[in-house]
Amino acid sequence: MIIEIPNACFMIPYERNDFFVGRKKFLKQIFDRFNDSMPRPYQYRIALFGMGGVGKTQTALEYIYINRAIYNKIYWITTINQTSLLSRYQKIAKRRGSKKFPI
């Protein structure tokens, strides 16, 4: 059974890439890290890094779309600079109907 996340709680600016292939083992590692029961600092934050064009964005998108049903909120936040970061938080707050940034 797939549970649909309300539109206000799912803000991803990109569609799923139907041509994405591979990286199943890596996607499983990300899933396992997010769902590890052992408490660790920054447990629910993962950074994908590498040279441009290696597939970081596509990998993150695939993870989001294949695991969408197990999360109740998913937001994509661009951190190119402080302005883009704050702008995205404002868009989330507006969509959620709040004047404050969502926590």
The count of structural domains within the chain is 1
Element (H, E) at 61: helix 56-66
Helix (H, G, I), strand (E, B) or coil at 74: strand
Q: Is residue 102 part of a domain?
A: no
Q: Is residue 1 part of a domain?
A: no
Q: Is residue 44 part of a domain?
A: yes
Helix (H, G, I), strand (E, B) or coil at 10: strand
Q: Of how many residues is the chain composed?
A: 103
Question: In this predicted structure, what is the pLDDT of residue 17?
Answer: 93
**Domain limits for position 42:** 7-96
pTM of the entire structure? 0.76
Q: Is residue 103 part of a domain?
A: no
Confidence of residue 35 (pLDDT cuts 50, 70, 90): confident
